[in-house]
Amino acid sequence: MIFIAVKFRVLPEHADRWPEIARDFTEATRAEEGCLWFDWSRSLEDPNEYVLLEAFRDEDAGAAHVQSEHFKTAQRTLPPHLAETPRVINTPVQQDDWSRLGEMAVDSES
């Protein structure tokens, strides 16, 4: 799979509304055939920072995402709400889902 982590620094006046601002993009991406997940979190230390964790089945699915109309729309509509260019990590991973964190295993799951 292709695993992507992106940090978005949102302008303070838009930070509380960011989930709504990104909603159409989020919903359209989650509906893509090759999307495994597309999940937003808000930083506990900086209320103006959101982290997006996304994964796509393979390189072809990732390419289809970047070439989609909703991605092109997001390229136009999201930057005016941002304080800076998002920072990204994009890497292939040899798995297709989350692994369990054995160091914090929950006994009731055995």
42 close to 92: Cβ distance less than 8 angstroms: no
Summarised one tens digit per residue, pLDDT across range 40-51 is: 999 999 999 999
What is the reported pTM?
0.92
Could you read off the pLDDT of 2-40 as tens digits, one per residue? 999 999 999 999 999 999 999 999 999 999 999 999 999
The pLDDT value recorded for residue 110 is 60
Q: Which is nearest to 34 in space by CA: 7, 10, 14, 64?
A: 64
Averaged pLDDT score across all residues of the chain: 96
Q: For each of the domains in the chain, give its residue range(s) and CATH number, in order of start.
A: 2-92 (3.30.70.100)
Q: What is the pLDDT of residue 17?
A: 98
State the DSSP code for 109: G
- Taking every pair of Cα atoms in the chain, the longest distance, rounded to a whole number of angstroms, is 48
Cβ–Cβ < 8 Å for 86, 6: yes
